[in-house]
Amino acid sequence: MSNVNEGYAGGYSIVLVLFILLVIVGAIYIGRNYC
Instruction: Report the pLDDT value the prediction gives residue 34, as an integer from 0 to 100.
Output: 80
Neighbour tally for 1: CB within 10 Å: 5
Domain definitions of the chain by residue range: 1-35
Angle at alpha carbon of residue 8, lines to 20 and 26, rounded to 5°: 15
Segment 20-31, tens digit of pLDDT: 999 999 999 999
Instruction: Report the pLDDT value the prediction gives residue 5, as an integer from 0 to 100.
Output: 65
Q: What percent of the chain has pLDDT over 90?
A: 49
Instruction: Report the pLDDT value the prediction gives residue 6, as an integer from 0 to 100.
Output: 67
Give the integer Cα–Cα distance in Å for 27 and 10. 26
Spell out the residues 6+ positions from residue 31 whose beta carbon is closer than 8 angstroms to its own.
Answer: none
